[in-house]
Amino acid sequence: MIALRMFQFCVDNAIQLDIQWIPRSELARADFISRLIDIDDWQITASCFIELEKLWGKHSVDCFANYYNKKINRYFSRFWNPGCSGVDFFVQQLAGENCLAVPPVDLIIRTLHYLYACRATATLVVPFWPSAQFWPLIAREYRDCVVASRLFNGRTALVHGMNKNSLLGSQRFFGDVIAIRLNFKRMRELHTDAN
């Protein structure tokens, strides 16, 4: 029935379809991507972003975004997205950037190390979880690079993306999130001064 309606629509609108069968083996990559579920599909709200811009200036790139949640026109995405400036944050050059980094929880440690390796300037937004595995990096290892921080109520600073099942961004999340202003260029200066 659906095929007949489609055929009639095409006839009525002078549309010519060239239908082609593609073996399943040639659709493996598209099939894999279509089955991915992003359990960390949450983002900061527009009002939280505006507050961060007021605090620490205009950000030049959104490091963990996609076409529907980007806060800045220049953004890096996990996979190719329309208009993205690069795929995979962890291979991007960050020199001269003012980064907005709102990484999935499981990538926070890797994000901190990459920002350090690039000597980047960034605003990192993460859950305020002092007992989390990533917290010692912020509180001890990279504390000399923390320029400032601002605590936000998680229920008003975060929202869901397309996947409505994540804890962060939901009304079930009662915690806070912290925005941390990091300047990893300072780490090199501090180490140079110490020697």
Rounded percentage of the chain residues whose pLDDT exceeds 70:
85
Global confidence as pTM? 0.77
Check pLDDT > 80 for residue 33: no
**Mean pLDDT of all residues in 22-35:** 60
Which of 130 and 40 is assigned the larger pLDDT? 130
- How many CA atoms does the CB half-sphere of 101 hold within 13 Å? 30
Q: How close are the terminal C-alpha atoms of the chain, in Å?
A: 78
pLDDT in tens, 137-181: 999 999 999 999 999 999 999 988 877 777 888 888 889 999 999
Token digits of residue 95: 């020199």
Token digits of residue 112: 């901190």
Q: How confident is the model at residue 30 (pLDDT cuts 50, 70, 90)?
A: low
User: What is the rounded CA–CA span in Å between residue 137 and residue 107?
Assistant: 13
Check pLDDT > 90 for residue 91: yes
The CATH number assigned to the domain with range 40-194 reads 3.40.50
CA 183 to chain centre: 19
Q: What is the pLDDT of residue 181?
A: 97
Q: What is the pLDDT of residue 123?
A: 98
pLDDT in tens, 54-79: 999 999 999 999 999 999 999 999 98
Q: Among 113, 114, 138, which residue's Cα sits nearest to residue 125?
A: 138
Q: Is residue 110 within 8 Å of residue 101, measured between CB atoms? A: no
Candidate ranges 14-23, 37-46, 146-155; pick with highest mean pLDDT: 146-155
